Chains A and B, each alone.
Chain A
Amino acid sequence: MSLRETLDRNYKQIIYLCLFAVIAIPLMNPIGLPVPIDKTTRDVYDRVDSLQPGDVVVMGSNIGASIYAEVYPQYVSILEHLFRKEGVKVILVGHGTEAPIFAEKALNEIKAYDRKEYGVDFVHLGYIAGGEAAISGMCRDLHSLLNVDYEGHPLSDLPMMEDINDANDFTIIIDFTASADSQFWLNQAYAPYGTDVAFGLTAVKVPDAYAYYTAGQIFGILESLKGAAQYEVLINRPGIAVKGMDAQSMAHLFYIGLILICNVKYFMGEKK
């Protein structure tokens, strides 16, 4: 078997190995390309930055293992930003099954329990099944859907929950999600109550969220790891996302290269 044959037969394995290398090498030796800030990210930052004491922020925590890499860094960055704001109240709630695990993880990562008081400044409601119906129930009458928080404490024991009954009491909602669910808050909070919504999304979900953005239905979007990196730059807390941006660039070049080779081969072959 000649070298040419081996390459032709195993081209997939070779591409896979190259892709590993293209991502791994910049991760180990970052080049430090500049990170430009998108307008969609800036809008989220400005809105969060202008929050006043007493404002209530709902963090739609729908992170699952499969979207962890893209969305979790955004989640931590925004949570960190919120915890720097004095008097802003935060509710963490999800409708994704694995959500509570990652919400807890993020709270521990920014040392939330040491910085602010649980029940006064932030509450973790855990996960509620039922998808859109659950979100709708929360926006309509939170206390009738849910009596206890994630750890089983009655909501009546948590001082900050006293004045929070429905979507009218939420100042903004930032939903972190992957799939069709991003629509849920838009449908159930923005549509009936006019509550402002922003998204932290996986890249795949961004295109149609962008149509909502240009129509003025949502006030901002964080796009995948890129958005997280931009937010990390904005709050001056560079972390895992900024570190990954060089690998991101190199991988993109690699894909463009593959597509170009494919087409060069195609047109050359056709000429023959």
Chain B
Amino acid sequence: MFKDFWKSTASVVLFIVTITILVDFAWENPTLQTVSTDLNNWAVIIGAFALGLGAYSLIIRHSRIISTRRTMWPYSIVLLLTMLIFAATGLITGSITSSEYGWIYSTIIQPLSSTLYGMNAFFIASASYRAFKARSTEALLLLVAAIFLMLKNAPIGGVIHPILPAIGQTIWDFVGATGMRAILIGIGIGTLALGLRVIIGQEKTPLGGAD
């Protein structure tokens, strides 16, 4: 009873909020503007609460791993301990630009995450050697385009011969006007389709599955 009421309220809220903000885009009206500004701000705040969801599920999962002594449980202790150190430092100093927080941030998060991002350079290298074969016309096109564009991207291309970056630029302009443009249009239409499905309640997953 209460469950059904709550679920239909949610659907109605979703519909009204979406339409309000959409109409506000094209229709000039001060009241509408105030309402959609507030709705906007509220969503920002709920978004901040959502940041904690990940933390909650991680804490639960890793405490369970530790208490049942599953394989590699000591790593879970490391994980929870790091989390605790960061949360405590941040909350006690009261600002993420405090010198203490800045120190643990630039000592731990920054090197780790740029290393991980950069790791791709290595994986791309081994993949280039292993898998980047002109197996088909399609792969050949990808390959040729990529090589000319790389010569455009690095200063060395123009040093070898000025024609190389020029070819790269031609390909770049062509795909910019065709492939990328079509992809952008597709994304726009896809978003509208998703939005419509969610608003009219045909797409079940976003609101938490079938139940």
Contacts and interface: CB of A to CB of B under 8 A. Distances in A.
Chains A and B belong together in one complex: yes
Interface of A: 11-12, 15-16, 19, 33-36, 64-69, 98, 100-101, 104, 128-131, 133-134, 136-137, 140-141, 144-145, 150-151, 192, 203, 207-208, 210-211, 214-215, 226, 245-246, 248-256, 258-259, 261-263, 266
B74 interface: no
Given A128-B44, A259-B128, A33 B159 contact: yes
25 contacts: A16-B125, A33-B155, A33-B156, A64-B113, A65-B112, A133-B43, A133-B44, A133-B47, A137-B40, A144-B37, A144-B41, A145-B41, A150-B97, A192-B25, A208-B184, A210-B180, A211-B181, A249-B154, A250-B156, A258-B132, A259-B132, A261-B129, A262-B131, A262-B133, A263-B133
Nearest to B108: A65
A211 B151 CA distance: 21
Given A69-B114, A101-B102, A258-B128, A34 B41 contact: no
Interface string B146-170: 1100110111111100000100000
Interface class of chain A by DSSP = helix
Given A100-B97, A136-B40, A208-B180, A19 B155 contact: no
Contact of A248 (B102, B113, B154): B154
B109 interface: yes
The residue among A69, A128, A207, A211 with the most chain B CB atoms within 10 A of its own CB is A211
Given A140-B40, A211-B181, A214-B176, A65 B114 contact: yes
Contacts of A64: 113
A104 B41 contact: no
A165 to B, nearest CB: 12
Contact of B122 (A19, A34, A35, A245): A19
Given A16-B122, A101-B96, A259 B177 contact: no
Q: Which 6 A-B pairs have the closest CB atoms?
A: A130-B44, A249-B156, A252-B154, A65-B110, A65-B113, A130-B47
Interface of B: 25, 33, 36-37, 40-41, 43-45, 47-48, 51, 95-97, 102, 105-106, 109-114, 116-118, 121-122, 124-126, 128-135, 143, 146-147, 150-151, 153-159, 165, 172-173, 175-177, 180-181, 183-184
Contacts of B44: 128-130, 133-134, 137, 145
Contacts of A16: 122, 125-126
B113 A66 contact: yes
A141 B41 CA distance: 10
A262 B158 CA distance: 24
A100 B96 contact: yes
A68 B114 CA distance: 7
Given A133-B43, A214-B177, A266-B133, A255 B128 contact: yes
Contacts of A69: 114, 118
A104 B97 contact: yes
B99 to A, nearest CB: 11
Contacts of B37: 137, 140-141, 144-145
Contacts of B125: 15-16, 19, 254-255, 258
Contacts of A98: 105, 109
A69 B121 CA distance: 13
A130 B172 contact: no
A67 B110 CA distance: 10
B155 A65 contact: no
Contacts of A256: 147, 150-151
B159 to A, nearest CB: 6
A133 to B, nearest CB: 5
Given A104-B97, A258-B125, A129 B51 contact: yes
A203 B157 CA distance: 17
Contact of B121 (A19, A36, A67, A210): A19
Nearest to B121: A19
Contacts of A215: 181
A255 to B, nearest CB: 6
A170 B176 CA distance: 29
A66 B151 contact: no
Given A65-B109, A136-B40, A210 B172 contact: yes
Given A130-B47, A192-B25, A67 B117 contact: yes
